[in-house]
Amino acid sequence: MSSHSIHEPVDAVITWVDGYDQAHAEKLASYLAKMGLDKRPETAAPTRFNQQGELDYCVHSLLRFAPWLRTIYIVTDAQTPPLMKTFAGTPHENKVKLIDHREIFLGFEHCLPTFNSLAIESVLWRIKGLANHFIYFNDDCFLIRPVHYEDFFRDSKLVFRGNWKTQTEKKWLSYFKKNKLNEHRKVQENSARLAGWQRKFFHLPHAPFPIKKATLENFFFQQPELLAQNLNHPLRDQRQFWPISLAHHLEIKTKEVVFDNSLATITINPATHNPTKIRNKLAQADKKENVSFVCMQSMDTASKATQNMMFEWLAKKIFC
Domain boundaries, the chain: 10-318
10-318: which CATH architecture?
Alpha-Beta Complex (3.90)
Angle between helix 304-318 and 54-65 (nearest 10):
20
For the CA atoms of 135, 67, 257, 138, the dihedral, rounded to the nearest 10 degrees, stands at -30
pTM of the predicted protein model? 0.92
Q: What pLDDT, on the 0 to 100 scale, is given for residue 175?
A: 46
Cα–Cα dist 103/16, whole Å:
15
Cβ-based burial of 97 (10 A; exposed 0-12, middle 13-18, buried ≥19): middle
Q: What pLDDT, on the 0 to 100 scale, is given for residue 1?
A: 42
In tens digits, what is the pLDDT along the chain, a chain of 320 residues? 444 456 899 999 999 998 888 898 899 888 888 877 766 555 555 545 456 789 999 999 999 999 999 999 999 999 999 999 999 999 999 999 999 999 999 999 999 999 999 999 999 999 999 999 999 999 999 999 999 999 999 988 999 999 999 998 766 554 444 555 688 899 999 999 999 999 999 999 999 999 999 999 999 999 999 999 999 999 999 999 999 999 999 999 999 999 999 999 999 999 999 999 999 999 999 999 999 999 999 898 899 999 999 999 999 999 98
